[in-house]
Amino acid sequence: MNKPIRFFLAGLFLLAACSPSGSRLEADISAIRVDPVTVHRYDQALFGIHPDSLPEKLGPLKAEFTFFLGSGPTDTSKIGPLREYLTNYRNLEFYSATERMYPDLGFLEEELAGAFRHLLYYFPEAPIPRVYTYISGGDYSRPIALYDSVLLISIDDYLGADFKPYIADGLPLYRIRRMDRDHLVCDCLRALEAVVRVPVPPGNTLLDHMVEAGKLLCFVDAMIPGYPDRFKIGYSAEQMAWLGKNEPHVWTAIIENQLLYSTKGSVIRTFMSDGPFTADFSSVSPPRLGEYIGWRIAKAWLDRNPEASLKGLLAEQDAQKILAGSKYKPGK
């Protein structure tokens, strides 16, 4: 930005703001049926094999874990790398911690079953993915991934803020705070959006980025409407409370500083990049304030337009149209 946002220097007025979740995304799914959800534990299956027994033990696993092992004869050239993977101290450490934290994933199967029912309510033709977990051994680049009909979960990326290797690996504390059970299902559903639409790069303005991020959060809202909002967006309770008091002032700062239609990378990064807080506001402000405001705008658009659908929201590429139709006015 060319100049800092100055509205905090004048003091804060503590005005209440509504939570993003609301009745428009509370669907009656009583008539929607899905097959029971099974999370296929490739982590447990693979680490349950003694490294010296790999050649004979892998074959019976292929029917369930074709995604990892293929369906043909076992390639003997892969036995060595698999043995190294299973005997690597770091992988064993992560797997042991996973077994202590997640000996059973029934809670996740239940949450995903409900989410998949909501998915079919809004998108009847959507494919239901097969779900696998595995041990990445500290590859934090993509904890959840969707590959065609497979939802792949790096389960050792959700071992909680007290898992010491996260800190030793130099991960920032604001990210470690989200690497736990409470955020696992929300991260799964962020990835799930790709089954109903091809991800669309946002336009050039801050508004474009804000609304696109907000649409994704509305999708997560619709899949798990009763889940706490703070886990959907990855904020602490204190950060949500800050927004409840200061959302109107964030919007005022954006408008008065003429940032809404800015195409400057520095402006977009300020409001959309992850971090411990949003620069130019307060050290206790949450990061990604643009994502939150975009969520509020997208949600308000659904509330203001009863004829609109979640599918219509996701398909609408005109961020200005969504803003105008939302009549978004925080604090009112």
**What tens digit of pLDDT does each residue of 267-279 get?**
999 999 999 999 8
> When comparing pLDDT for 73 and 223, which is higher?
223
- Other C-beta atoms closer than 10 Å to the C-beta of 220 total 25
The pLDDT of residue 87 is above 50 = yes
Beta bridge partners of 131: 39, 151
Mark out the alpha helices in 102-205 (DSSP H runs).
Answer: 106-122, 164-168, 173-176, 181-192
As a whole number of Å, the CA-based R_g of the chain is: 22
Residue found by looking up tokens 């979960």 in the block: 153
pLDDT in tens, 116-144: 999 999 999 999 999 999 999 999 999 99
Give pTM, 2 decimals: 0.90
The pLDDT of residue 8 is above 50 = no
Residue found by looking up tokens 């206790």 in the block: 284
- Are residues 194 and 152 in contact, defined by beta-carbon separation less than 8 angstroms? no
Name the maximum alpha-carbon separation found in the chain: 72
The per-residue pLDDT of the chain, averaged, comes to 91
- Are residues 207 and 284 in contact, defined by beta-carbon separation less than 8 angstroms? no
